[in-house]
Amino acid sequence: MTEDFNVERNIYFKIAIIAFVTYLFFMFFGTKMPFQAKGGNSSPGSGEGNIVNQIVYPSIFLLSLVSLFVRRLDAIAIIKKEKLFTIFLIWCLISIIWSYSPIDTAKRLFRALTVFAVILSLLVHTTSTKEILNFIKPVLYLYVFLSIVACITIPGAIDYQFHTWRGFEDSKNVLGGVAVVCILLSYFIYKVERGGAKLIASIAVLFSLALLFGSRSMSSILAFFIIVLSGSFSSSDKLFKPLGLGRAFSTIIFLFAAVMGIIVFFVYPEIIAVFTEAVGKDPSFTGRTDLWTSMLISISHHPFLGTGYRAFWSVSPPSDYLNHIYSLFIWMPNEGHNGFIDIANEVGIIGLTIFLVALLRYFFSLRQLDSPNPWKWLIIAPLIVNLGESSMVSFTTPDGTMIMISYLILFGQLWRKDVEAEAEYESS
């Protein structure tokens, strides 16, 4: 029998909060010294081999397990409710068998399982959006404020290659993705705050916008504008609801934009070239399209199983095909600059299919809630960013991690709704 949510908050809930806030701090700020020049082929923000990293993540993993143990039946119920993300993680675990580097896959999978345990340990004690935002707020504000100060005052906070802001991150593109997350979280907090707290949240939104445009990360800026437009279309549905159109207006606009985008991409690619040149980019998106072609060739060698979760770019010494990529691209990429391609390369078409089906189920499940769920935007934004970057399942930066957090929050809310409905039925 699931425990009543109205019981007095105990030490285990406090442990879950400590684990969650500690994880958030190191997720935003990292576990290695900031403002260092990019080196080697280590994954951005991975912190592998870092003594702090080796202490922090096992510690918060153990704290989460302690908190989960007392509500283990609730945790199992949430896992049964969501299913597919757990299946995806299990598939990543199985990929150790054929991984190019089983040790690297195991290390990075432990990071993913730690994130999963940290979030789950919090959700078995609370699924309140406002309460979760209150836990996020201090770390978020600290990160945004210090990042602005760093970008203005510290030379090392400037991207060494593009001379734009990168803050505490390894590159401008990572900062851009993080800034989109900060904008959305700050806006969510702004919507629920009152008085002076609302003013502070609005300042955080403005500072986050400054970080986004200071990074000049085009994929992140594009994601931001798509989110703004999508939000505007969703709001416009309310105007047409009295006419019985429901979501028809935004759906028609979205389909029209999607069809036009496909037509332009395949029939009139010169339009894309004009646009990219207007914003100072080349039609290959700074070599990305050439890299994607090489990555697709790599996938063709292991289409169904992949190279092992997070193993392709981290294996040492580099695999033959990774050496081939380095010979083609002198800028030594450490990711495929497309999250979907990287997932297919690492865990195969099977893994990518499980991941995409999990996302589809997420969006279909949103309809089961009685009120709008703003966390969906923290899944949509990284999906857009990952058309040109790769952070969806690395769980080393906020934009990728927020996919898992938002996903589990939804199914935690649906589980709690079922529990409350069952309690109401038994009491009637």
Residue range 293-303, pLDDT digits in tens: 999 999 999 99
Same domain (yes/no): 138, 112: no
Q: Is residue 187 located within the same domain as residue 297?
A: no
112 in the same domain as 18: yes
Residue 136 predicted with pLDDT over 80: yes
Domain membership of residue 184 (yes or no) is yes
Q: How many domains does the chain have?
A: 2
The answer as to whether 238 is a domain residue is no
- Give yes or no: residues 338 and 400 share one domain: yes
Looking at residue 2, what is its pLDDT? 44
User: Of the residues 215, 239, 269, which one is the last residue of a structural domain?
Assistant: 215
| Final residue of a structural domain among 179, 200, 215 | 215
Based on the domain organization, do 48 and 120 belong to the same domain?
yes
The CB density around residue 72, as the number of other CB atoms within 10 Å, is: 11
- Mean pLDDT for 261-279 is 57
Q: Indicate if the pLDDT at residue 276 is higher than 80.
A: no
What's residue 90's pLDDT?
97
Q: Are residues 120 and 148 in the same domain?
A: no
Q: What six digits make up the tokens of 14?
A: 């406090």
pLDDT of residue 46: 44
The answer, yes or no, to whether residue 246 has pLDDT greater than 80, is no
What pLDDT, on a 0 to 100 scale, did the predictor assign at position 113? Answer: 95
Over residues 357-382, mean pLDDT = 91
Per-residue confidence at 330, pLDDT binned at 50, 70, 90? confident
Look at residue 62 and tell me if it is in a domain.
yes
pLDDT of residue 122: 95
Single residue among 192, 215, 238 that ends a domain in this structure: 215
Residues of the domain holding 190:
129-215
Residue 280 has pLDDT above 80, yes or no: no
Query: What confidence score (pLDDT) does residue 51 get?
Result: 86
- pTM (two decimals): 0.88
Other beta carbons within 10 Å of 91: 19
**Mean per-residue pLDDT for 326-335?**
89
Residues 296, 377, single domain; the answer is yes
Average pLDDT of the residues of the chain: 86
- What average pLDDT does this structure show over 26-39? 80
pLDDT of residue 47: 47
Residue 421 lies in a domain: yes
Does residue 343 register a pLDDT over 50? yes
Does 231 fall in a domain? no
Residues 121 and 151 in one domain: no
Same domain, 303 and 393: yes
| List of residues 6+ apart from 150 with CB closer than 8 A | 34, 35, 157, 167, 168
pLDDT at 20 over 80: yes
> Are 89 and 165 in the same domain?
no
174's CB contacts (< 8 A; 6+ apart) are: 44, 45, 166, 389, 391, 397
Cβ pair 112, 392 in contact under 8 A: no
- Percentage of residues of the chain with pLDDT beyond 70: 82
Specify which of 87-101, 235-249, 316-330, 369-383 reaches the highest per-range mean pLDDT: 87-101
Residues 308 and 405 in one domain: yes
Q: CA–CA separation, 346 vs 385, rounded Å? A: 19
- Tally of residues, the chain: 428
Q: Which residue has the tokens 């959305």?
A: 184
Instruction: Let me know whether 146 and 90 are in one domain.
Output: no
SS3 422: helix
The DSSP 8-state label assigned to residue 399 in this structure reads H
148, part of any domain: yes
pLDDT at 176 over 90: yes
Residue 258 inside a domain? The answer is no
pLDDT tier at 41, thresholds 50, 70, 90: very low
In a domain, 195, yes or no: yes
122, 124, 128, 129: CA torsion to nearest 10:
50
